[in-house]
Amino acid sequence: MSRPLTESDPEVAVAIDNEVRRQHEGLELIASENFVSEAVLEAAGSVFTNKYAEGYPAKRYYGGCEFTDVIENLARDRAKQLFGAEHANVQPHA
């Protein structure tokens, strides 16, 4: 369970490497196909992938969300600052 992808599934690892190379060497003119920064990839591929957090910070339907709350509060505060807003909701619609 703690082996790197290159050991546990080398074929998938190669496909991922090839896709990374394709994205860096080409230019997609489709907005949804743009690539993200290393920081975004790192955060999106973090242990939070394993976490389900329905509801709002401090009012979740499941336990163990204290660190999810930290990240959501950071995102909300940063969105408010960025847009000069009094309120912000950073949760997806669906």
Show the domain range for 15.
1-35
Query: Per the structure, how many domains does the chain have?
Result: 2
pTM value is: 0.76
Distance, in Å, from the CA atom of 60 to the CA atom of 62, rounded to the nearest integer, reads: 5
| Structure token digits, residue 46 | 């973090």
Query: 51-92: per-residue pLDDT in tens?
Result: 999 999 999 999 999 999 999 999 999 999 999 999 999 998
Q: Are residues 47 and 72 in the same domain?
A: yes
Residues with Cβ < 8 Å from 79, sequence gap 6 or more? Answer: 85, 88, 90
Distance, in Å, from the CA atom of 3 to the CA atom of 8, rounded to the nearest integer, reads: 6
| Structure token digits, residue 79 | 């969105």
Q: Are residues 31 and 43 in the same domain?
A: no
